[in-house]
Amino acid sequence: MKGTHISKQISTRSRILLLFFIVLVGAALLFNYLWASSSTVYNSVHYNFVRQNNDLVTLINFSNQTNKAADFKDKLPESLLSGTFADLPAPETKWEEMSPAPVPRLDGASIQINDLFYVFSGYRNLDHVHSHVDVYNFTTNKWEESFDTPKQMANSHLGMATDGRYIYVISGQQGPQCRTPPTAEVFVLDTQTRKWESFPPLPEPRYAPATQIWRGRLHVMGGGKENRHTPSTDHWSIGVKNGKPLEKTWRKEVSIPRGGPHRACIAVGDRLYVIGGQEGDFMPKPGSPIFKCSRRHEVVYSDVYMLDDKMKWHTLPPMPKPDSHIETSWVVLNNSIVIAGGTTEKNPITKRMILVGEIFKFDLDSKKWHVIGKLPYRVKTTQAAYWNGWFYITSGQRDKGPDNPQPSKVVADLWRTKLSL
């Protein structure tokens, strides 16, 4: 009996060893597959998961246990992550660094009129916003002037358009952090006299609405509603001439197919284009007396819409990747729209914001998108202009380095590169 008992023990141990060997071989094969996939994706994504505090986002505090879970997620193979935020192949671009702007700014706005570049307001950081305009002269390549904005005017998330002399500043957020509600106030700047005038306010306040002068009317559409997060599809217009309204009230127009803030809005001939953007935005942290920002779900999209002269919306080919925070990051050149930088879909695991470093071109004849260059670094809400063969960008929030596309510091840098299409 004793011998039989020993034989059974040996038989049981053999089965256990065999099972362990099979599991070990399977694990080795799985690891080899994940390693190969991860290496391939890493070479194209150029991304790592260094966890640092976002300089411009005050997040809700998490427990130590939650932090441990997040750290574990950061170590997951990149083959398990979405590739939509990956850097796209693009030609190398030679940039020349110019004299920086007087102040760093994020979520400001800009307008170019001939050889003058007007750069407005924006955040210096989450606790400080600007209330002035800096003016760059492309002929002298110098920042030559600064002047104040009206006290009642918003400091960030502005809608902005020009007729070539007058600049219309629409709605937006007053104050730092994630203040709410926004203002409905509208102001007009006469760039020849540097005088400000009031203008009929919007029917409702909006954050970062798409704004443009088109066919003699000032159009304002989309943006974020008063809670800063809910997207709006509303579309209003008002007749304008020489800085004055031709009507007493705004007229309701056909709604935009998809709502939300931080989009490019561009008029070319009889067509109005609305490009990119997002649904949702940061909201004030519940209970915060100074309205600190808290994270909310956002969807960044690549949608492109065109409004024709019969006031009918058309859907055009989407951008090469989802892109937001591009409201004044564009120029029109040789019947093409050129867009620089922005933000794309968040990392699906860490939920961190991912910045964009490409230059995109949309050919209005062929209706095709192309990636035509790389920025000096990935950057959101950069201000773009074009003069005498040079493409300029200034300001915005840059990335943490070539291998980390998360947002880092707000910059005042001014760059230019030769561009011909």
Question: What CATH number is associated with residue 135?
Answer: 2.120.10.80
The per-residue pLDDT for 48 is 27
- Owner of token pair 């840059």: 398
The per-residue pLDDT for 336 is 98
In a domain, 30, yes or no: no
In a domain, 248, yes or no: yes
In a domain, 31, yes or no: no
The per-residue pLDDT for 8 is 44
In a domain, 11, yes or no: no
In a domain, 127, yes or no: yes
In a domain, 208, yes or no: yes
Q: What are phi and psi of 96, to 5 degrees?
A: -115, 125
The per-residue pLDDT for 86 is 85
Which residues, in sequence order, are CB contacts of 101 under 8 Å at separation 6+? Answer: 119, 134, 136, 143, 394, 395, 412, 413, 414
The per-residue pLDDT for 400 is 95
Q: What are the helix (H) ranges across 46-165?
A: 64-74
Nearest Cα to Cα of residue 159 among 148, 172, 146: 172
* CA 399 – CA 407 distance, rounded (Å): 5
Phi-psi region of 388 (alpha: psi -120 to 50; beta: other; left: phi over 0): left
The per-residue pLDDT for 19 is 60
For the record, the structure tokens of 88 come out as 């796209």
- Owner of token pair 């932090």: 67
The per-residue pLDDT for 342 is 98
In a domain, 370, yes or no: yes
In a domain, 8, yes or no: no
Nearest Cα to Cα of residue 136 among 414, 419, 322: 414
User: Number of structural domains, the chain?
Assistant: 1
For residue 160, what are the domain limits? 80-418
User: Buried b vs exposed e over 298-321: b needs ≥16 C-beta within 10 Å?
Assistant: bebbbbbbbbeeeeebeebeebbb
Written as tens digits, the pLDDT of the chain (421 aa) is 444 444 444 455 556 555 655 655 455 444 444 443 333 332 332 322 222 333 343 333 323 334 444 444 444 443 344 566 789 999 999 999 999 999 999 999 999 999 999 999 999 999 999 999 999 999 999 999 999 999 999 999 999 999 999 999 999 999 999 998 999 999 999 999 999 999 999 999 999 999 999 999 999 999 999 999 999 999 999 999 999 999 999 999 999 999 999 999 999 999 999 999 999 999 999 999 999 999 888 999 999 999 999 999 999 999 999 999 999 999 999 999 999 999 999 888 888 899 999 999 999 999 999 999 999 999 999 999 999 999 999 999 999 999 899 999 999 999 999 999 9
